[in-house]
Amino acid sequence: MSSLIRRFLVLFRLAGTGRRRASSVLKSRRGQTAVEYLLVTVALTIAFSSIYRVLQWYLTNQFRQGGEIILRMYKETPW
């Protein structure tokens, strides 16, 4: 049983450290997780905002071309 616990502690880099050290390692991991979440949030925000800008430019051009086609059709076929 103790070898299993030792392997578990080695896995999480807590082997040979005291209780105080183990808690500080866990706190730093929580901080690292928070930083990673913030970085992922910023990266996704930048990605979606750039995609939105590209799609906005593309849709604007599509609507402009569609409007020109409609106006051209009205000029060609008088009622």
* SS3 per-residue string spanning the chain: CHHHHHHHHHHCCCCCCCHHHHHHHHHHHHHHHHHHHHHHHHHHHHHHHHHHHHHHHHHHHHHHHHHHHHHHHHHHCCC
pLDDT tens-digit series, residues 32-54 = 888 899 999 999 999 999 999 99
pLDDT at 13 exceeding the cut of 90: no
Question: pLDDT tier at 24 (50, 70, 90 boundaries)?
Answer: low
pLDDT band for 15, please (50, 70, 90 cuts): very low
> In the structure, what pLDDT confidence band is assigned to residue 29 with cuts at 50, 70 and 90?
confident
